[in-house]
Amino acid sequence: MIEKSVSIPAAAGALHQGIISPSISHARFSIGDVVRHRMFEFRGVVFDVDPVFANSEEWYQAIPEDMRPAKEQPFYHLFAENSDSSYIAYVSQQNLVHDESDELVDHPAIAGLFDSYADGRYQLRREHRQ
């Protein structure tokens, strides 16, 4: 797996600059990549990337301490799905891997942000590209 820096496009109504400090590991996944969780049975499409943890302390503390990821790594916003439902997930880089199934993700928000799927990734709609 090749690590790469990410230039984060305007997505889901937020504008971010994908500047990742050299002291922080580079983002392994890009907007549109299909990923799956290492431990839990869900997969999703990356629609935004935070270079480091950017959620609430309450959310972070709710994770069991023995499973709590380091904050100093990229965190990904996903249009996620499991066998029961679709939802938005926020996941640390250490807990994600590329999904090799080549199956589409079934999430209702995908069509609003992405317009096509090929080679394991979704392509942003033209209006969301920088």
Tens-place pLDDT, residues 54-80 = 999 999 999 999 999 999 999 999 999
pLDDT band at residue 2 under the 50/70/90 scheme: very low
Residue-level pLDDT at 5: 37
How far is residue 113 from each of residues 45, 78, 82, measured CA to CA in Å? Answer: 11, 12, 20
Mean pLDDT, residues 17-41:
79
- Mean pLDDT over all residues of the chain? 85
Residue 14 lies in a domain: no
Q: How far apart are the C-alpha atoms of 25 and 69, rounded to whole Å?
A: 14
HSE of 105 in the Cβ direction (CA atoms, 13 Å)?
A: 34
pLDDT in tens, 74-111: 999 999 999 999 999 999 999 999 999 999 999 999 99
Domain count, the chain: 1
Q: Is residue 60 part of a domain?
A: yes
Domain of 92, in residue numbers: 34-128
Q: Under a CB-based contact definition with an 8 Å cutoff, are residues 35 and 43 in contact? A: yes
Q: Is residue 6 part of a domain?
A: no
- Judge whether 25 lies within some domain: no
Provide the residue type at 96 as one letter.
L
Asked if residue 16 has pLDDT above 70, the reply is no
Residue 112's closest CA among 120, 103, 122, 121? 122
- The predicted pLDDT at position 95 comes to 97
pLDDT > 90? residue 43:
yes
Whether residue 119 lies inside any domain: the answer is yes
pTM over 0.85: no
